[in-house]
A and B are shown apart, each in its own frame.
Chain A
């Protein structure tokens, strides 16, 4: 890393490198692949540099335009932002490598994938850095439009229908969030997160509560929490494999991050009844998503419903966290990071199987394990993290949640957390089992480029290794965390 550059320079690069590359890919479609790959590596490098800088030197700030809040917009990178930025970079660079091989034979998708994907990456990075409620709305819109366009990239009726439904949901969610921002600005006279947070306790009551509810509702819709998950399986299931990976691993995490950011930094980490309600929806999501995943006959839909279930876990942590179990925050964040890596690996594996056999019907996977051993290894390793078996990242997250649930005597939540793991094991083994079974008839098979197999395996391995890096990542998550909610989290897990 270059020590001469300070954090503000890395922040600038984290947003502007993918943006500039997206424009170049659009200008020079024939060079899009090579430009995109170089940009992906560069973006990941500057993101890791920023993460190290935040871990070493603490929260970083940039005043955009040189204007302080409330007049200007602030970039702020604390531990939470840095962790999600780093996860985005790791998934992003791997998916880019995968996509270069995946779209090799499809000139149309190849030309349009790169600018859209790099703009999506720009939007994610800008969202994680922004400390301004209105600017966050702009990044949400950017993110939504890029995600919808990528969903439609597969062509065909299913992809277009899924994309249009996704577009409507995404816009509705953004507008609901924007309504909340407008009400907050009217109450507080600022859209800077720090200033609004300071004003919230004294803000006029019904307006600020309605604002919080509108913003939360919009973000829940975008995060696809049960019962607002209806749009997710068709969109994630019909997109091209690298796009599905990005949508499931990164895009839903962005709105969850924003929800968490509002909850912790703007609304003060309280709200017992709201947390109980969201926790209840989380419980329903874990059970409903897992059962539906188990009933799917197509692999990509199974993985998409698994996302619905795993999002449930993130919300299930809310009542535990609000009741004082600070470790539950770390647990939820850990699950978000681990799910990002593991789910991307699963969708990439599914893309390999789809390419290999020309279909993704689970019952006809036809001894895929002998022909694509790396892909099946990746799928199984990712499954280990999704189930929450040690030593994966998913295990650490669930273990922290279980510990908090036991400490608070919430045995109902304990049962749901464990049951979700058992159901996850059932649907992962359903796939793996069919992959070991020879099908009745031979079919024409295509070869899968080794790059596609290795990138899936890399992400799955990262999801496992994440479980071993808790001593590194937990302190990072505490950097600049809101004192009320998270300060004791590190002590809580290390005392275990």
Chain B
């Protein structure tokens, strides 16, 4: 992985050197030896206690698998994980997508990316993306569609798209001009925006609640949300790899 480091905004000359650098750890931050041994023992005791608690857990555990299976016909999809993520506990998924957007806004606020155009790829990296990128996009589309009835869905598909972005960046492809600024930002928020807008609209239906998909339209709505979420997840992951705002 190429070392892309965001530079702090205001010089930042005093930032601590990364681990393994020549500069020694300043004396005031290093704990005395006895304290370190004590800390290790305390942590070991905590770990031991946790291990005992986990080993004492009841088997089999009570769970919600049966409840999910009982209502899956109303969810619009037939795979239990997708049903939980996009229907039963869709609100969790919405907030998790917000976490991704937030991570990107936070990263952009710290510094600029060096940009992908500066990467000088070897012969392998020059050719590989030509073969892999179209295939990965195809697989992402398949995973998204398959998520309704088999393992898959927006997060897996989005990760693949993110991988495409990383591959293109490593091979020195800059972002095309039209994909800068507003279009890039739109792609980042698209997943949350579509999810939240549909979720709020569902509350306006008679007898509806936020994120309450009517069973007849549930499949269409879930696919729409997943499509938007996949694009956003892919773009956010690739942009996080770039390490700063463009």
- On A, residues with C-beta under 8 Å from B are 8-9, 12, 16, 19-20, 23, 26-27, 62-67, 70-73, 108, 112, 115-116, 119, 122, 126, 134-135, 138-139, 141-142, 145-146, 148-149, 152-153, 155-158, 160-161, 179, 183, 185-190, 204, 206-207, 210-211, 214
Q: What A residues does B20 contact at CB under 8 A?
A: none
Interchain CB contact under 8 A, A207 and B56: yes
- Residue in A closest to B181 when the chains form the complex, CB atoms: A29
| Stretch from B59-67, B143-151, B154-162, B163-171 at the A interface | B59-67
Q: What A residues does B64 contact at CB under 8 A?
A: 70-71, 189-190
Interchain CB contact under 8 A, B88 and A157: no
Q: Return the CB mask of B78-117 against A: 1 if under 8 Å, else 0.
A: 0000000001111110011011011101101110000000
Q: What B residues does A19 contact at CB under 8 A?
A: 98, 192, 196
Q: What B residues does A210 contact at CB under 8 A?
A: 49-50, 53
- Residue in B closest to A24 when the chains form the complex, CB atoms: B189
Q: What B residues does A206 contact at CB under 8 A?
A: 52-53, 56
Interchain CB contact under 8 A, A160 and B192: no
Q: Which of B22-46 contact A (CB under 8 A)?
A: none
Q: In the complex, what distance in Å separates the CA atom of A390 from the CA atom of B103?
A: 44
B13 within 8 A of A: yes
Q: What B residues does A116 contact at CB under 8 A?
A: 102, 105-106, 109
Q: What B residues does A156 contact at CB under 8 A?
A: 8, 10-12
Q: In the complex, what distance in Å separates the CA atom of A63 from the CA atom of B207?
A: 11
Report 17 cross-chain contacts, Cβ distance below 8 Å, ordered by A residue: A19-B196, A23-B192, A26-B189, A62-B210, A65-B87, A65-B91, A71-B64, A72-B88, A116-B106, A134-B89, A149-B105, A155-B9, A155-B10, A183-B53, A189-B61, A211-B53, A214-B50
Interchain CB contact under 8 A, B58 and A8: no
B185 within 8 A of A: yes
B68 within 8 A of A: yes
Interchain CB contact under 8 A, A71 and B58: no
Q: What A residues does B200 contact at CB under 8 A?
A: 12, 16
Size class of B's contact patch?
Answer: 35 or more
Interchain CB contact under 8 A, A26 and B109: no
Q: In the complex, what distance in Å separates the CA atom of A271 from the CA atom of B98?
A: 36
Q: What A residues does B203 contact at CB under 8 A?
A: 8-9, 12
Interchain CB contact under 8 A, A142 and B98: yes
Known: A122-B98, A156-B8. A115 touches B88 (CB 8 A): no
Known: A27-B185, A72-B88, A157-B13. A189 touches B211 (CB 8 A): no
Q: In the complex, what distance in Å separates the CA atom of A240 from the CA atom of B96?
A: 27
Interchain CB contact under 8 A, B99 and A145: yes
Q: In the complex, what distance in Å separates the CA atom of A27 from the CA atom of B192?
A: 13
A440 CB to nearest chain B CB (Å): 30
A204: which of B15, B56, B196 is its contact (CB, 8 Å)?
A: B56
Known: A23-B189, A186-B61, A207-B53. A66 touches B212 (CB 8 A): yes
- Residue in A closest to B89 when the chains form the complex, CB atoms: A73
Known: A16-B200, A26-B189, A65-B87. A71 touches B109 (CB 8 A): no
Q: In the complex, what distance in Å separates the CA atom of A189 from the CA atom of B66?
A: 11
Interface centre among B56, B109, B182, B196 (most CB of A within 10 A): B109
Q: What B residues does A161 contact at CB under 8 A?
A: 15-16
Known: A23-B189, A155-B10, A210-B53. A64 touches B63 (CB 8 A): no
A106 CB to nearest chain B CB (Å): 10
Q: What B residues does A204 contact at CB under 8 A?
A: 56-58
| Apart from A20-B196, A135-B95, A160-B15: 15 A-B pairs, beta carbons within 8 A | A26-B188, A65-B87, A66-B208, A67-B87, A73-B92, A112-B105, A122-B98, A138-B92, A142-B98, A145-B99, A149-B102, A156-B12, A160-B8, A161-B15, A187-B62
Interchain CB contact under 8 A, B71 and A71: yes
Interchain CB contact under 8 A, B89 and A152: no
Q: Return the CB mask of B117-145 against A: 1 if under 8 Å, else 0.
A: 00000000000000000000000000000
Q: What A residues does B9 contact at CB under 8 A?
A: 108, 155
A165 CB to nearest chain B CB (Å): 11
Q: What B residues does A157 contact at CB under 8 A?
A: 8, 12-15
Interchain CB contact under 8 A, B213 and A65: yes
Q: In the complex, what distance in Å separates the CA atom of A108 from the CA atom of B54?
A: 48
Interface centre among A26, A116, A214 (most CB of B within 10 A): A26
Known: A8-B203, A71-B67. A155 touches B8 (CB 8 A): yes
Interchain CB contact under 8 A, B210 and A65: yes
Q: In the complex, what distance in Å separates the CA atom of A63 from the CA atom of B89?
A: 11
Interchain CB contact under 8 A, A16 and B196: yes
Q: In the complex, what distance in Å separates the CA atom of A238 from the CA atom of B110?
A: 15
Q: What B residues does A71 contact at CB under 8 A?
A: 64, 67-68, 71, 88
A46 CB to nearest chain B CB (Å): 13
B186 within 8 A of A: yes
Q: What A residues does B179 contact at CB under 8 A?
A: none
A2 CB to nearest chain B CB (Å): 15
B95: which of A65, A126, A211, A214 is its contact (CB, 8 Å)?
A: A126
Q: In the complex, what distance in Å separates the CA atom of A9 from the CA atom of B205?
A: 12
Q: In the complex, what distance in Å separates the CA atom of A80 from the CA atom of B83?
A: 33
- Residue in B closest to A17 when the chains form the complex, CB atoms: B200
Q: In the complex, what distance in Å separates the CA atom of A151 from the CA atom of B99?
A: 17
Q: In the complex, what distance in Å separates the CA atom of A407 from the CA atom of B144?
A: 64
Q: What A residues does B50 contact at CB under 8 A?
A: 179, 210, 214
Q: In the complex, what distance in Å separates the CA atom of A67 from the CA atom of B212?
A: 8
Interchain CB contact under 8 A, B105 and A187: no
Q: What B residues does A207 contact at CB under 8 A?
A: 53-54, 56-58
Q: What A residues does B12 contact at CB under 8 A?
A: 155-157, 160
Interchain CB contact under 8 A, A64 and B210: yes
Q: What A residues does B16 contact at CB under 8 A?
A: 161
Q: In the complex, what distance in Å separates the CA atom of A108 from the CA atom of B8?
A: 13
Known: A8-B209, A27-B186, A156-B8. A64 touches B61 (CB 8 A): no
B109: which of A27, A112, A139 is its contact (CB, 8 Å)?
A: A112
Interchain CB contact under 8 A, B196 and A119: no
Interface centre among A72, A112, A116, A186 (most CB of B within 10 A): A72
Q: What B residues does A73 contact at CB under 8 A?
A: 89, 91-92
- Residue in A closest to B14 when the chains form the complex, CB atoms: A157
B209: which of A63, A141, A185, A186 is its contact (CB, 8 Å)?
A: A63
List the 10 closest pairs (A to B, CB-CB), nearest first: A189-B62, A149-B106, A157-B14, A66-B212, A112-B109, A210-B53, A155-B10, A155-B9, A64-B91, A66-B209
Q: In the complex, what distance in Å separates the CA atom of A204 from the CA atom of B54?
A: 11
Interchain CB contact under 8 A, B57 and A186: yes
Q: What A residues does B49 contact at CB under 8 A?
A: 210
